[in-house]
A and B are shown apart, each in its own frame.
Chain A
Amino acid sequence: MTEPLLRVRDLKTYFVTEHGSGTARAVDGVSFEVQPGETLGLVGESGCGKTVTSLSILRLIPEPPGHIRPGSFIEFEGRNLLTLEPRELRAIRGNQIAMIFQEPMTSLNPVFTVGDQIAEAAIVHQRLSRRAARTRAIEMLRLVGIPDPQERVDHYPHQMSGGMRQRVMIAMALVCHPKLLIADEPTTALDVTIQAQILELLDRLQADLGMAVMLITHDLGVVAGSADRVVVMYAGQVVEQAPTPALFARPLHPYTEGLLASVPRLDAPPAREHGRLHGIPGQVPAATAWPDGCRFHPRCPYAWDRCRAEAPPLLDAGGGGEPGTHTVRCWLLTDPRRRTPHP
């Protein structure tokens, strides 16, 4: 196996809450790796810690109220990002690791042209002249499929549609040819047609530029077509991780199973004919008070005494491949007979 591009070990990012209601353990011991050139899907509901994980990697957590706990470890190409000096960090952030955000409306600056915003990173990181950076910005706009890039380079964000703004965000992120792109819900605010365009664009750019992508989403339908491997998060922890085909063929954590069953499918008979859509009952608990034992047990259809009392570790699910290929944080692995048909 090649050396991973990014290695996250036991990441803990906590926040002190305002009203003294305790410490929010938003990310609570997360470990995973990203290999060079691969797409990793990071999946979970709002409030499960996906975004805080990605912001921690870039050290964009506001301190206070947040802080990354000692003992956490984020290694990018062999260097621990958590111990870098601000100067060294700036040389990596936006250059070798770039990020695109969910809201293309609010993450672009309304008073600068899109060309200026794309060029900025090239001027800062690669010391390009203004003229060269502008040429680069036009190239980038063409690369992300914006028609008439020569003209569009001088437009302001409000003159563009949501899908075009997301393309501009991607152009901004890729202008320095990063080795890792973190895409946080890049298609959630978009129409399905535009979502399909953006996902296809990311696939193509990844193949062309050979970068790794961390695709963060709440929709397993989105990762099915794009990701090589999937990490499922719940309540600040990784609850399952597996290669994409294995995860969809054999979702082992009841949370993964529930997420998969919630996706409205075109290839299934309509819910009104056979009753209802599967959802996951309840909601993600507050990060200040994760449940004892397995954090998913209050919403789990299979939970028994052990789940309420004892927190499960990540267990190896076997299923071919090296150990650790498919891991699951669930006691069902020790007692598979308890996996009765979904109630």
Chain B
Amino acid sequence: MTPALVDVQGLVKHFPGERGLLGLGRPRAVVRAVDDVSFAIAPGQTLGLVGESGCGKSTVGRAILRLIEPDAGRVTIDGQDVVALGARALRALRRRMQIVFQDPYGSLNPRMTVHQMLAEPLAIHRIARGPDAERRIAALLDEVGLDPSFAQSYAHELSGGQRQRVGIARALSVEPHFLVLDEPVSALDVSVQAQVLNLLADLQQRRRLTYLFIAHDLAVVKHIADHVAVMYLGRIVERAPAPALYAGPRHPYTTSLLSAVPVPDPKAQRQRIVLTGDVPSPAHPPPGCPFHPRCPHPKKDTRCRTEPPALREVAPGQVAACHFAEQPL
């Protein structure tokens, strides 16, 4: 096996509880946004990181790029220890790792043209200027399927799908090896979603990119990921090669997420598991298994309420954190 391009071990990020108004009052409990998360991604592969809002998946994406500082853990990208790097070395490594955000409305500068947005990273990293930069910008637009005339457009003149293409072009401009894709298609219409997913797949092949694909929809992830990790309340609860996870989920949370995906077939009589309630606050995670208050597993017992299940291998390459992983739903 080739060594992993991205290797994350024991990543932790806690946010201090905020005090009340004016900084008075007792500080609230610490929010354990990411708690002991580990995974690796081989070069040219995609890991899908899946979970509901607030589960910590975006925090993982940002912490491994050090857009926010992790509290503990080791992150190795391209053989370099990201957490230990000084500011200067980190800036240099930023060329190798980039991020595409969910919201194509909020992540583009409304006062810059597409051309300026693509020229800026080229200048900052001293990659190209003048005619060389012009050539690269034209090639980037072409690569993401945008007409060269878009170079002079502002973000508000573009549709959601076009903005997301600009976001992707901007990330690619510095020729990264690794991309964090944070819900890149969640805000798009289904028809445009398919276009952008196809584009991401093409780019990955052509440039041999490695992806961390963050999403809440397992159906979208199925079409792009080699491996899938499912997060709940800051922890990975199941991780497996994609075919194994979709064919035989072992954690009841994974099963519930799968069953929540709408199927475009009115005849499909699915046994739907509708999870009750919301995700509990990560400041006050339930004792025992954090999923137990919402868990639909019929065997759920006192052990689930008291003893946190460890993440353990339940099939070759498949790990799950459930006391009943041998008797999946």
**Partner-B contacts on A (CB < 8 A):** 45-47, 147, 161-164, 191-197, 199-200, 218-222, 224-225, 244-245, 248, 258-267, 270-272, 276-281, 283
Contact = CB atoms under 8 A, between A and B. Distances in A.
A164 B276 CA distance: 12
B58 to A, nearest CB: 13
Nearest to A220: B264
Interface stretch (B72-80, B254-262, B317-325): B254-262
Contact of B223 (A192, A248, A260, A270): A270
A46 B189 contact: yes
Nearest to B226: A272
30 contacts: A161-B278, A164-B278, A191-B53, A192-B216, A192-B261, A196-B262, A197-B275, A199-B262, A200-B272, A218-B190, A218-B191, A224-B262, A245-B266, A248-B265, A262-B190, A262-B191, A262-B194, A264-B190, A264-B197, A264-B223, A271-B201, A271-B223, A272-B223, A276-B198, A277-B194, A279-B191, A279-B192, A279-B198, A280-B195, A283-B159
A163 B278 CA distance: 8
A260 B260 CA distance: 18
B14 interface: no
Give the most central of A45, A163, A193: most B CB within 10 Å. Answer: A193
Nearest to B194: A279
B219 to A, nearest CB: 4
B256 A265 contact: no
Contact of B189 (A45, A191, A278, A281): A45
Given A47-B159, A265-B263, 14 more contacts: A191-B53, A192-B262, A194-B278, A196-B259, A197-B274, A224-B262, A224-B265, A259-B191, A262-B194, A264-B190, A266-B258, A271-B201, A271-B224, A279-B198
Contact of A162 (B53, B162, B217, B277): B53
B189 A218 contact: yes
A45 B192 CA distance: 9
Contacts of A219: 190, 262
A191 B267 CA distance: 24
B222 interface: yes
A296 to B, nearest CB: 12
Contacts of B197: 264, 271, 277
B222 A264 contact: yes
The main secondary structure of chain A at its interface with chain B is helix
A190 B219 CA distance: 15
Contacts of A224: 262-266, 268
Nearest to A145: B276
A45 B194 CA distance: 13
B223 A277 contact: yes
Interface range, B side: 35 or more
A263 B190 contact: yes
Contacts of A260: 264
A160 to B, nearest CB: 9
A341 to B, nearest CB: 19
A225 B267 CA distance: 9
Nearest to A281: B195
Given A162-B53, A266-B219, A279-B195, A221 B274 contact: no
B256 A266 contact: no
A264 B191 CA distance: 10
Nearest to B195: A279
Interface in B171-211: 189-195, 197-198, 201
Give the most central of A162, A194, A258, A278: most B CB within 10 Å. Answer: A194
B218 interface: yes
Contact of B274 (A45, A200, A245): A200
A193 B191 contact: no
Contact of B266 (A199, A248, A259, A276): A248
Nearest to B221: A264
Contacts of A248: 264-267
B144 to A, nearest CB: 14
Give the most central of A161, A222, A266, A267: most B CB within 10 Å. Answer: A266
B220 interface: yes
B242 A221 contact: no
A244 B274 contact: no
B220 A264 contact: yes
B246 interface: yes
A143 B260 CA distance: 22
B52 interface: yes
Contacts of A262: 190-191, 193-194
B264 A263 contact: yes
B61 interface: no
Contacts of B242: 270
B222 A266 contact: yes
A147 B264 CA distance: 31
B191 A258 contact: yes
A192 B217 contact: yes
Given A200-B274, A245-B266, A279-B194, A265 B260 contact: no
Give the most central of A199, A258, A271, A279: most B CB within 10 Å. Answer: A279
Contacts of B216: 191-192
A245 B269 CA distance: 13
Given A193-B256, A193-B275, A271-B201, A283 B192 contact: yes
A193 B277 CA distance: 10
A147 B243 CA distance: 38
B161 interface: yes
Contacts of B266: 224-225, 244-245, 248
Contacts of B219: 263-266
Interface string B210-236: 000000111110111000000000000
A84 B53 CA distance: 44
Nearest to A259: B191
A62 to B, nearest CB: 19
